[in-house]
Structure 1
Amino acid sequence: MKIIRGILWRFKEGVGYNIFVDVKVYRDGIKTPKGLVSALEMFLRGTARREGIRSRLSVIITGDERMAWLNETFRGRKGPTDVLAFPDEDLPEIYLSWDEAVRRGDPAGECARLALHGLLHIAGYDHKDKDSAAEMRRLEEEYLLCWIF
């Protein structure tokens, strides 16, 4: 719950910018903490603005079954993964595994971290080598520290 209050508090300054972030819950039965969806929207809206992303962005919180299907269909890898980003020019999408977030012990915090990781991929960052992975980790920590008190 601490992450949600921190995000809401820090993003009051970012409200009103022309970046639309649409967060949808995909799987029936996923119960997210109250305020998580709106907190993620504000967090991603502000972060997208800072990264120069100017498009509609969908974030879908789903489960392992859907993530495994997406991972195999689009990456050729069997089994679920924690986050997938599809940087389509018109409608970029980020898929998060709620099941993985729960396994890590802090579902709300992990959703924020996973959504941020996906957003950085959409912004053009990757972790194909040691240096680019270090840069992504640095940015993730920087953004998360800015929004959590």
Structure 2
Amino acid sequence: MSTEVNNETEVALDLAEFAAIAEHVLHHMHVNPRAELNILFIDPEPMEELHVRWLDLPGPTDVMSFPMDELRPGTAESETPAGTLGDIVICPQVAARQALEAGHSTAEEMLLLTVHGILHLLGYDHAEPEEKKEMFDLQRTLLLTFLAERGA
């Protein structure tokens, strides 16, 4: 996988960990190994600008996904074509608040947001109850298998 991870914040992050979870998710979703993905960590102010510009919603949000080639999950027999999956933008400061409310670490929250963002890039959504159940069950499974394999 060609995953580029950049941190434009002052928050200390293990960028290799985010590349690893992206690789885990894309492998399990049978995405072509040549697919490109960008993960960017930004501060609340630029996140708020994106949130207002693209969703017309106030305030910073936790994660936003910007699909490019509209790749979809493949199967064990047929992976997706190569292409650009898109960009995921995460705000660590918003993630930290959510992690505190959820009772887990900020790192775990950002790993969850990475999985969530990738699933959005692959066409998953959570607008309807059935979609939400499918997406959230899948993101939980992907995160837990990643953490189990990493010995976390």
1: CA distance, partners of 2:62 / 2:11: 16
Asked if the contact 1:53–1:123 (Cα under 8 Å) also holds between the matched residues in 2, the reply is no
CA distance in 2, matches of 1:92, 1:129: 23
Alignment of 1:51-90 (within 5 A): 51-54=29-32, 55-89=35-69, 90=84
Note the C-alpha offset of 1:91: 5.5
Counterpart in the other structure of 1:43? 21
Structure 1: give runs of 5+ residues left out of the alignment: 1-18
Residue 92 (str. 1) matches residue 92 (str. 2): no
Per the TM alignment, residue 107 of structure 1 is displaced from its structure 2 partner at its CA by 1.5
Aligned to 1:31: 12
The alpha-carbon deviation at position 46 of structure 1 amounts to 2.0
Change in Cα spacing, 1:48 to 1:73, as seen in structure 2 (3 Å) is: same
Q: Hey, what's the Cα distance between the residues in 1 that align with 2:21 and 2:123?
A: 18
Structure 2: distance between partners of 1:125 and 1:114:
14
Q: Is the 8 A contact 1:52 1:123 kept in 2?
A: no
Normalized per residue, the structure richer in helix is 1
Once residues 26 and 61 of structure 2 are traced to their aligned partners in structure 1, the CA distance between those partners, rounded to angstroms, is: 23
Residue of structure 2 equivalent to 1:101 = 95
Q: Give the TM-score taking structure 2 as reference length.
A: 0.78
Extract unaligned runs of 5+ from structure 2: 70-83
Aligned to 2:128: 129
Take 1:91 and 1:127, find their aligned partners in 2: how far apart are those partners? 19
Residues 86 and 147 (structure 1), Cα distance of their counterparts in 2 relative to 1, 3 Å cut? same
- The alignment partner of 2:17 has SS state of helix
Q: Percent of aligned pairs with the same residue? A: 25
Q: Which residue of 2 aligns with 1:22?
A: 4
- Tell me how far apart the structure 2 counterparts of residues 65 and 37 of structure 1 sit (CA, whole Å): 21
Cα displacement (A) at 1:49: 2.2
CA RMSD between the two structures:
1.3
User: 2:85–2:121: 8 Å Cα contact kept in structure 1?
Assistant: no
Q: TM-score, length-normalised on structure 1? A: 0.80
Which deviations, in whole Å up to 9, do the C-alpha atoms of 1:71-93 show, x marking residues without a partner?
00111111111100001123500
